[in-house]
Structure 1
Amino acid sequence: MFNFKPMSKTFTSTVPPSLKKGDQVAIVATARYADLKILEFAEQLLESWGLKLNRGKNLLKKHYNFAGNDPERLEDLQWAMDHPELKAIFCFRGGYGSTRILEKIEAKKFMNSPKWVIGFSDVTALHNYIGTICNTASVHATMPINYKDNSDNALRSLKQLLFEKTMNYCIDSCAENILGQASGPIVGGNLAILQSLSGTKYDCNTKGKILFIEDVDEYLYNIDRMLWTLKHAGKLANLAGLIVGGFTQLKDNDDPFGMTVQQIILEKVKAYHYPVCFNFPSGHFNDNCALGLNLPVKLIVGSEKVELSN
C-alpha cells in the first residue's frame, strides 16, 4: 500500500530560462582551487553543447587550498551573478570555501536576471543561498572537475535539465525503501553543509518538500549526529518525501558504531509517514545525475522501481 503525500501548498520559485546554443556561461571556483588541464577539458565539453565559455578572472588563482582568497572568489561569483548576458554559472569544484563568502553576496541583480547555478557538495551552501534568499531554482549536479570521469548518463542528465528543464528517472527499488508517492519541490544537497547552515538565515525550509541528502568521507557516528541535528530542528517532521543519494567512502571507528547508514536514517524518520528512496544516483560518484532544486517533481517509490519526474 502506498502512502501519498500531496503538496500542502503551492510552491513557486523563480526558474531561470532554459539554455540554448549560443548562450554565454561562466565557470568560477568558490571553494578549492582549479586545475588548468581539467578546466580545458570541461570547457571543450560545454562548448560541444553550443555554449560560449567565460572564465572568472581569478579562476586559476591559488591561496592555500582555495581558488584565491575570499575576496577573489567572491569577486568572481558576484561578477557572474551580476553579468547581464550570462545564462549559467558552473562551479568548478567543491571542497570547502563557499560558506565563507555567503554573507558578502549581493543578490539584487541576480534576482532581476536569474541564471542557473550548477554544482554539488560544498556548493550546497550556494544552493541554500539561492533557494532561501533569492527563491530561485538551481541545479545539483556534477561539476567541471568531474566531467572527464562522469558517466554519459550523468552528463546527459545535466544537459537535459539545463536545456529542457526536464528530469525523468526510473531506478531499481531496494528493500530499505519506504513505499509511497509524493509531490513537491526538491531541496537539500550535502548533509554536512545542510547541517552547518541549520538555524542560519540560509537554512532551507523543508516543510512540504522532498528533501535530498548525500555525503562522502564521513564517520557513521557523525552522520548520525548530523541527522539528529536536522531532526531536532524539525527538518524531518513535515517532509513530503526523502531521497537519499550516495553516502560513499564512509568510515567507522575500531569499535563499530553498530548501524548502517540506512538504519541511521530510518531511525530518524520511522515516526513519519512519507516515502523514502535510498540509493538514488546522485552524489560523490561518476554516475552523478542532475536534480533541479526548488523545482516541483513527483516521486513514486514502488516495490520494484522508483520514479522521479517533473
Structure 2
Amino acid sequence: MNQPKPLHKGATVGILSTARKISIAEIEAAIELLHSWDLKVVLGITIDLEEHQFAGDDMTRVLNFQQFMDDDSIDAIWCARGGYGTIRIIDHLDFSRFIQQPKWIIGYSDVTVLHAIGQQLRFETAHATMPINVAENSPASLESLRKVLFGENLNYTIPTVYSNKKGIATGELIGGNLSMLYSMTGSNLSLDTTGKILFLEDLDEYLYHIDRMMMNLKHNKYFEGLSGLIVGGMTDMHDNTIPFGKNAEEIILDVTSEYDFPICFNFPAGHVDDNRALIFGKKAQLEVASEVSLRF
C-alpha cells in the first residue's frame, strides 16, 4: 500500500468540495485550524460555487479535484463536506499520475467513494472530519487528524461496550459509510474485505434499511474471510410506526452471527462530534477485550 508523505510546517492543504455546495463562511474554522498548524491553505473553485445542491456542476468538480491531484504545490486534499455527488465524478478522474506520489485525501461520509478508489489503486487515505464540522469537533478529533497528516503514531484505547464481540484482528483497515458501500457493491468500487478490518458508520437511516444493507454486504461476501469489524456512529436512526424490533447494534450482530471475527461497537468515528481519524489502507491491529485498542 502506497502511503502519502507526511506534511511539514509550511505545506499546503487544498480545500474543495466533491459533493454538496458550501460557502467560505462555513469553513472559516477549518482554515484557522490549518493555520494554527503552520499550514497554508488553497481554496478550490468549488468553494462558494452553486449548481442546485452541488458545489458546481459535475465537470467543474472533476476539474477542481484533478487540478489538486496534479498540482505538486498542494500537499493534501481536504474535502469540505459530504452530502451527495462524489460518485457522479469518480469515473472522470485520472489517478495515473497521482498514484506515483499520492497525497492525503481526507474526508468521510460521501467521500467513502474516494476511499474505495484508494483501495482499488492501493494508496492510503484519511477517514476523518471535514471543514464543515471543525467548529463542533472535539479536540481529540482534530488532534487525531493532525497526527495523521504529520505522520505521527496513531493509536486508540476506548472503553468496551456490552455488545462487543471479543477477539484480536489484524489487517488493513478499510470501509466507510455503510450506505455508500452498499451503493457500490457489484461495481468496480466494491471492496475486497478478505483478511481486512472493516469499518462501518451511518447517519439518518431507518433500521430496516440498516438490515437491508447489512444483508446486501453479507450476500456480496463482505464478511467471509473478514478479520474484524469496527462500527462507529450509527447516528440518528429511525424506526417505522410498526417497530423493526432491533436497534442498529442488534441488527449487525444478527447478520454477522455465523462469523467468529471480533466486533467493536461505538467507536468514536463517523457522524459524531468526536470523529477520530482513521487511516484506510494501513495495516492495523484491533483487540476487543475488557477495553478496545486499535493500533496502526
> Shared topology, TM-score over 0.5?
yes
Q: What is the match of residue 246 of structure 1?
A: 233
Q: What is the match of residue 3 of structure 1?
A: none
Secondary structure of the 1:59 match is coil
Deviation track 1:98-135 (CA, whole Å, cap 9, x = no partner) reads: 00001101011111220000000000011101221x21
Q: What is the match of residue 285 of structure 2?
A: 298
Deviation track 1:37-62 (CA, whole Å, cap 9, x = no partner) reads: 12222111111111111111232201
User: Of 189, 212, 219, which aligns to 1:202?
Assistant: 189
User: Of 73, 80, 95, which aligns to 1:92?
Assistant: 80
Deviation track 1:240-297 (CA, whole Å, cap 9, x = no partner) reads: 0000000000000000001111111011111111110000000101100000000111
In structure 1, distance between residues paired with 2:288 and 2:48:
43
Q: What is the match of residue 309 of structure 1?
A: 295
In structure 2, distance between residues paired with 1:52 and 1:203:
35
Q: What is the CA-CA distance between 1:166 and the residue it aligns to?
A: 2.5
Q: What is the match of residue 7 of structure 1?
A: none
1:31 aligns to 2:13 (yes or no): no
In structure 2, distance between residues paired with 1:202 and 1:165:
29
Structure 2 counterparts to residues 265-304 of structure 1, below 5 A: 265-302=252-289, 304=290
Q: Compared with structure 1, are the counterparts of its residues 165 and 240 closer, same or farther at alpha carbon in structure 2 (3 Å cutoff)? A: farther
In structure 2, distance between residues paired with 1:165 and 1:228:
37
Contact 1:59 1:76 in 2 (8 A): no
Q: What is the CA-CA distance between 1:169 and the residue it aligns to?
A: 0.6
Q: What is the CA-CA distance between 1:212 and the residue it aligns to?
A: 0.1
User: Of 42, 54, 67, which aligns to 2:42?
Assistant: 54
Contact 2:24 2:47 in 1 (8 A): no
In structure 2, distance between residues paired with 1:27 and 1:58:
9
Contact 1:237 1:269 in 2 (8 A): no
1:21 aligns to 2:9 (yes or no): yes
Structure 2 counterparts to residues 1-310 of structure 1, below 5 A: 13-132=1-120, 134-302=121-289, 304-310=290-296
Q: When the two structures are superposed, what TM-score results if normalisation uses the length of structure 1?
A: 0.94
In structure 1, distance between residues paired with 2:238 and 2:257:
24
Deviation track 1:214-259 (CA, whole Å, cap 9, x = no partner) reads: 0000000000000000000001111100000000000000000011
List alignment gaps of at least 5 residues for structure 1: 1-12
Secondary structure of the 2:20 match is coil
State the percentage of identical aligned residues.
Answer: 44
In structure 2, distance between residues paired with 1:94 and 1:273:
33
Number of matched residues?
296
Q: What is the CA-CA distance between 1:160 and the residue it aligns to?
A: 0.8
In structure 1, distance between residues paired with 2:285 and 2:115:
21
For 1:19, the aligned partner's letter is L
For 2:158, the aligned partner's letter is I
Deviation track 1:146-203 (CA, whole Å, cap 9, x = no partner) reads: 0011000100011011112422111100111110001111000000000101111111
In structure 1, distance between residues paired with 2:142 and 2:204:
24
In structure 1, distance between residues paired with 2:172 and 2:73:
28
Q: What is the CA-CA distance between 1:68 and the residue it aligns to?
A: 0.5
In structure 1, distance between residues paired with 2:99 and 2:115:
14
In structure 1, distance between residues paired with 2:39 and 2:119:
25
Q: When the two structures are superposed, what TM-score results if normalisation uses the length of structure 2?
A: 0.98
Secondary structure of the 1:164 match is coil
In structure 2, distance between residues paired with 1:22 and 1:76:
22
In structure 2, distance between residues paired with 1:107 and 1:182:
31
For 2:14, the aligned partner's letter is A
